[in-house]
Structure 1
Amino acid sequence: MSAATTGPRALFRRLPVVHQLRQSVGLQRAMLVIGLVITGIFVLTAAFAPLLAPYGFAQLRDEDGSFGAQQAPNSKHLLGTTVGGFDVLSRVIWGTQTAFLVIVVAVILSIFVGVFLGLISGYIGGWLDRVLVVIADAVYAFPSLLLAIIAAIAISGGQSSFWGGIFAAALSITVVFIPQYLRVIRAETLRIKAEAYVESAKVIGSSTGRIMFRHVFRNATRTLPLIFTLNASEAILTLAGLGFLGFGIEPTSAAEWGYDLNKSISDVTSGIWWTSVFPGAAIVLVVLGITLVGESLNDLADPRLRTKRRAGTGPALTAETSAVPGGSLADVPNIDGLEGRA
């Protein structure tokens, strides 16, 4: 095997999003690139929030004195101040960090629990499968936001500190996401369990655990990057909904876009637009970026759509093909002479 197929560059090209980016063309590539750029800005802003934010998320004054409530955008506060006297720009930037941490914790917990239960349910089957499916369907039947509110109240009483609030919100969202992963992985496991290589592994005496986690797991989890992106955008909306309804993180513990939108409701009727526009735009842009990535990966995962796009980019290739073995008709020498001999 050559170094070109096993080196770091080849491994980089096989990464999920990089591989799909190389496959994409036209509008699909544009959607994926735009989504990746928006998502990348979101991630970088969350990582460098302490350096980018001019003030703290709960800061009300500086060396010149109090900020003042509902100040219009100016040189000191580029996006103005809220009704509580917080700097809007700082709250928006710090809010990216809160949203990112909740997404990471919620989706990772959902993946671990949902994938494990899906493997067990699909491979072992029997009464355990029926019980897990019934529980997943019962949880899935509840409205996701209502279920997250109930879980948030049960976990932390609806209000908490920074890490306590993040884990409470993440666990609330995890309860909503676990049935989705369970159903997807269970369906893939049922399909893969009937494949010939799984039957061969059973014949040669491989243990159940080895078959599940070496053969079935590796093939059943190929759609996880796609599900991850779709659930990440849903996690943002669920977190914002919890904060908007007053079940999120306390404003003195962390910045949260949903809470800021809730406090800006009365400002809208008074003509004070900046306290609601910027947190709302942050939610819309982040969800848009992650959704564009997820939808692009979903389309590129369908070989039929990918083949149509590639065929549309090079129609001349089809015209050059021929049914004559070994090449086109032009490559056959002295066709007239052959016909005369016949």
Structure 2
Amino acid sequence: MATSLTGSGTTPGTAPARRRRGLPLVRQLRQSVGLQRGMLVAGLVLTAVFLVTALLADVLAPYGFAQLRDAGGAFGAQQPPSGDHPLGTTVGGYDVLSRVVHGTRTALLVIIVAVVLSIFAGVLLGLVSGYFGGWVDRVLVVVCDAIYAFPPLLLAIVVAIVISGGESSLWGGIMAAAISITVIYIPQYFRVVRAEVVRIKAEAYVESAKVIGASNWRIMSRHVLRNATRTLPLILTLNASEAILTLAGLGFLGFGIEQSAAAEWGFDLNRALSDVTSGIWWTSVFPGLAIVLVVLGLTLVGESLNDLADPRLRSRRAAEAGETGEVTVVPGGPLGAGPGGLAGIEEVR
């Protein structure tokens, strides 16, 4: 005789369904309503297209990023869009479509390196500064505030010149751009994490861990770090879009990667400046459009996640849309998800 599970409140397939609903993007999609959901979906689609294009650049691009000829001969400079070159060719004779597609890979590599380095350094410094305080905290705050007050693009130019030393190779240019962007974004992660650590270290569960003799390292890694980094995904998406703009700015000003070493949108725009006045529009429109779409997609995702992380904004958007959205009390999950949480209080309808 089959035993009914209704009384226990569970049914077959409930656990996998809950796990699927608990996935980060799935949870945010279920919480969003109206225009907010449309913005999030549009941002996710644009970001997904960017990622797929970057991963499959060699397959999608009809030619290599530095290819100037094929079996039929040389491509020719500034050729208008045609069957052989759907987006035309540049002043240097490169295929515009291939340069735009391969440029997504360069942008993705710079984003990954810059964001990983920024998070690692910013989180580590913010954790140490907020937890221990004292003179270390004061010195780090002053240094990060000084960096944060410096004009970002000018700082990136200075750091890129110091690091690259005229290097125009693929990885030399990528590392120069990524490290220069990292220097800009470390203070942002530092300030966010430090503020959270200062708040969290006064919580009861941290004090209890100290009483039972837990080491500072264990408290920082097991209790403080996880709760202090819940908002980092929001900053990550916004900084990724800013990293693309900074990379394009460096390339446009001539501090990026040479076109023979890798495809880079900002550098291509720099070389297309003289074309604009001559009525040759395709060499500048498509790299610029790629920058706009990628930045727009990442920004829409970041802004939507930022709204969904704030219960007040979620409730207001739900009321404006005339719907009842699910509202988690704590950004990133229910209160029971972390130490000291209240298990059972998961949603407010």
TM-score (norm 1): 0.89
1:144-183, Cα deviation, whole Å (9 max, x unpaired) = 1111111111111243211221111111110111011000
Superposition pairs of residues 36-47 of structure 1, within 5 angstroms: 36-47=44-55
Per the alignment, residue 129 of structure 2 pairs with 121
Question: Which secondary structure state, in structure 1, belongs to the residue aligned with residue 66 of structure 2?
Answer: coil
Structure 1 equivalent of residue 64 of structure 2:
56
Instruction: State the aligned residue count.
Output: 315
Residue 314 of structure 1 deviates from its aligned partner by: 5.5
Which structure has greater helix proportion? 1
Find the structure with the greater CA-based Rg. 1
2:118 alignment partner AA = S
Q: Report the RMSD for the aligned CA atoms in angstroms.
A: 1.6
Task: Determine the structure 2 residue equivalent to 1:137.
Answer: 145
Q: After TM superposition, give the deviation of residue 138 of structure 1 in Å.
A: 0.9
Structure 1 residues 45 and 199: CA distance shift in structure 2, 3 A: same
Which consecutive segments of 4 or more residues in structure 1 shift more than 6 A? Answer: none
Preserved contact between residue 35 and residue 288 of structure 1 (Cα < 8 Å): yes
Give the distance between the partners of 1:221 and 1:176, measured in 2 at CA. Answer: 19
| 181-190 or 302-311, which deviates more | 302-311
**Which stretch of structure 1 is more off in the superposition, 208-217 or 152-161?**
152-161
1:170 equivalent to 2:167? Answer no
Query: Residue 72 in 1 paired to residue 83 in 2?
Result: no
With over 3 angstroms needed to count, the CA separation of the structure-2 counterparts of 1:279 and 1:312, relative to structure 1, is: closer
Measure, in 2, the Cα distance between the counterparts of 1:313 and 1:64: 58
CA–CA distance in structure 2, aligned partners of residues 267 and 98 of structure 1: 24
Name the counterpart of 1:278.
286
The residue aligned with 1:159 is: 167
Partner of 1:250: 258
Change over 3 Å in CA distance of 1:314–1:26 after alignment to 2: closer
Instruction: Give the counterpart of 2:191 among 176, 183, 198.
Output: 183
Structure 1 counterpart of 2:114: 106
Match of 1:89 among 97, 102, 105: 97
Give the whole-Å Cα distance in 2 for the aligned partners of 1:315 and 1:171: 45
1:81–1:88 Cα contact (<8 Å) kept: yes
CA distance in 2, matches of 1:145, 1:159: 19
Letter in 2 for 1:132: L
Superposition map of 1:188-207 within 5 A: 188-207=196-215
Gaps of 5+ in 2: 1-7, 325-349
Q: CA deviation at 1:35?
A: 0.2
Equivalent position to 2:240, from 232, 237, 246: 232
CA shift at 1:56, angstroms? 0.4
2:307 aligned residue: 299
Corresponding residue number in structure 2 for 1:325: none
> Which of residues 224, 227, 231 is equivalent to 1:216?
224
CA distance change for structure 1 residues 312 and 144 in 2, over 3 Å: closer, same or farther? closer
| Identity over aligned pairs, percent | 74
Deviation string 1:270-328 (CA, Å, 9 cap, x unpaired) is: 00000000000000000000000000011111101212333455579xxxxxxxxxxxx
In 2, Cα distance between the equivalents of 1:174 and 1:92? 24
Mean Cα displacement is larger for which, 23-32 or 196-205?
196-205
Residue ranges of structure 1 left out of the alignment (5+ in a row): 317-342
Taking the aligned partners of 2:310 and 2:257, their CA distance within structure 1 comes to: 40
Deviations 1:197-242 (Å, cap 9, x if unpaired)? Answer: 1111111111101111111101000001100000000000000000
TM-score, length basis structure 2: 0.87
Question: 2:36–2:317: 8 Å Cα contact kept in structure 1?
Answer: no
